[in-house]
Amino acid sequence: SPRPVPAGPGWACRAVLGEGHQRTVRKVAWSPCGTYLASASFDATTCIWKKQPDGFECVTTLEGHENEVKSVAWAPSGNLLATCSRDKSVWVWEVDEEEEYECVSVLNSHTQDVKHVVWHPNQELLASASYDDTVKLYHEEEDDWVCCATLEGHESTVWSVAFDRSGERLASCSDDKTVRVWRQYKPGNEEGVACSGTDPTWKCVCNLSGFHTRTIYDVAWCHLTGALATACGDDAIRVFEESSPAAPQQPTFSLAAHNSPGRAVTLHCSASVLRTSVEAEPSRKNRPRVSFSRHMSLMARAVFPVSFLE
Amino acid sequence: LIRSINDPEHPLTLEELNVVEQVRVKAISVCFQQVNDAESTVAVEFTPTIPHCSMATLIGLSIKVKLIRSLPERFKVDVHITPGTHASEHAVNKQLADKERVAAALENSHLLEVVNQCLSARS
**Residue A31: what pLDDT?**
96
Contact A67 B94 (CB under 8 A): no
Residue of A65 and A282 predicted with greater confidence: A65
What pLDDT band is residue A256 in, cutting at 50, 70 and 90?
confident
Distance (Å, rounded) from C-alpha B92 to C-alpha B104?
16
Q: Is the pLDDT of residue A77 over 60?
A: yes
Minimal C-alpha gap between A281 and chain B (Å): 8
Contact A157 B40 (CB under 8 A): no
Binding-site residues on chain B for chain A (CB distance < 8 A): 15, 40, 73-74, 76, 94, 97-101, 103-104, 106-107
pLDDT in tens, A108-146: 999 999 999 999 999 999 999 999 999 999 999 999 999
Contact A175 B97 (CB under 8 A): yes
Contacts of residue A127, Cβ cutoff 8 Å, sequence gap at least 6: A117, A118, A119, A120, A135, A136, A137, A138, A161, A163, A170
What pLDDT band is residue B123 in, cutting at 50, 70 and 90?
very low
Q: Is residue B100 part of a domain?
A: yes
Q: What share of chain B is helix, strand, coil (3-state, %, to 5)?
A: 40, 15, 45
pLDDT in tens, A82-103: 999 999 999 999 999 899 999 9
Contact A282 B107 (CB under 8 A): yes
Q: Which of B76, B104, B106 sits opposite A214 (nearest CB)?
A: B76
Contacts of residue B15, Cβ cutoff 8 Å, sequence gap at least 6: A67, A86, B101, B105
**CA distance to A79, A161, A225, per residue, from A75 (Å):** 7, 15, 22
Please calculate the CA angle B68-B69-B75 and round it to the nearest 5 degrees.
35
Minimal C-alpha gap between B58 and chain A (Å): 19
Q: At what angle do helices B89-97 and B56-70 cross, to 10 degrees?
A: 30
Q: Is residue B72 part of a domain?
A: yes
CA atoms A227, A230, A234, A236: torsion sign? positive
Task: Determine contact, residues A143/A129, Cβ cutoff 8 Å.
Answer: no
Distance (Å, rounded) from C-alpha A175 to C-alpha A159?
7
The H or E element spanning position A137 is strand A135-141
Question: For chain B, how far is it from start to end, CA to CA, in angstroms?
Answer: 13
User: Does the N-terminal peptide bond of residue B8 adopt cis geometry, omega within 30 degrees of 0?
Assistant: no
The boundaries of the domain holding residue B57 are 28-119
DSSP A225: T
Task: Determine contact, residues A127/A147, Cβ cutoff 8 Å.
Answer: no
Q: Is residue B96 part of a domain?
A: yes
Q: Is residue B14 part of a domain?
A: no
The one-letter amino acid at A145: W
Q: At what angle do helices B99-106 and B56-70 cross, to 10 degrees?
A: 90
Reference B67, options B45, B84, B86; nearest CA is B45
Minimal C-alpha gap between B122 and chain A (Å): 25
**Residue B7: what pLDDT?**
43
CATH number at residue B109: 3.30.300
Q: Is residue B3 part of a domain?
A: no
Contact B76 A113 (CB under 8 A): no
Q: Which of B97, B99, B107 sits opposite A23 (nearest CB)?
A: B107
Distance (Å, rounded) from C-alpha B60 to C-alpha B73?
19
Minimal C-alpha gap between B53 and chain A (Å): 22
pLDDT in tens, B26-53: 557 788 888 888 889 999 999 887 777 7
DSSP A193: -
Domain count, chain B: 1
What pLDDT band is residue A4 in, cutting at 50, 70 and 90?
low
Reference A216, options A200, A192, A236; nearest CA is A236
What pLDDT band is residue B2 in, cutting at 50, 70 and 90?
very low
Contact A233 B76 (CB under 8 A): yes
pTM exceeding the 0.90 threshold for the entire prediction: no
What is the set of domains in chain A, with CATH numbers?
Answer: 21-152 (2.130.10.10), 168-278 (no CATH)
What pLDDT band is residue A283 in, cutting at 50, 70 and 90?
very low
Q: Is residue B11 part of a domain?
A: no
pLDDT in tens, A168-219: 999 999 999 999 999 999 998 988 899 988 899 999 999 999 999 999 999 9
Helix, strand, or coil (residue B91): helix
Q: What is the ipTM of this complex?
A: 0.85
Q: Is residue B34 part of a domain?
A: yes
Closest residue in A to B41 (Cα) is: A234
Q: Which of A42, A70, A301 sits opposite B107 (nearest CB)?
A: A42
Closest residue in B to A130 (Cα) is: B98
pLDDT in tens, B70-112: 999 999 999 999 999 988 899 999 999 999 999 999 999 999 9
Minimal C-alpha gap between B24 and chain A (Å): 27
Q: Is residue B113 part of a domain?
A: yes
Q: Is the pLDDT of residue A280 over 50?
A: no
Contacts of residue B4, Cβ cutoff 8 Å, sequence gap at least 6: B119, B120, B121, B122
The mean of the pLDDT values for chain B is 81
What pLDDT band is residue A292 in, cutting at 50, 70 and 90?
very low
Contacts of residue B90, Cβ cutoff 8 Å, sequence gap at least 6: none
Distance (Å, rounded) from C-alpha A227 to C-alpha A158?
20
Distance (Å, rounded) from C-alpha B66 to C-alpha A200?
49
Contact A68 B76 (CB under 8 A): no
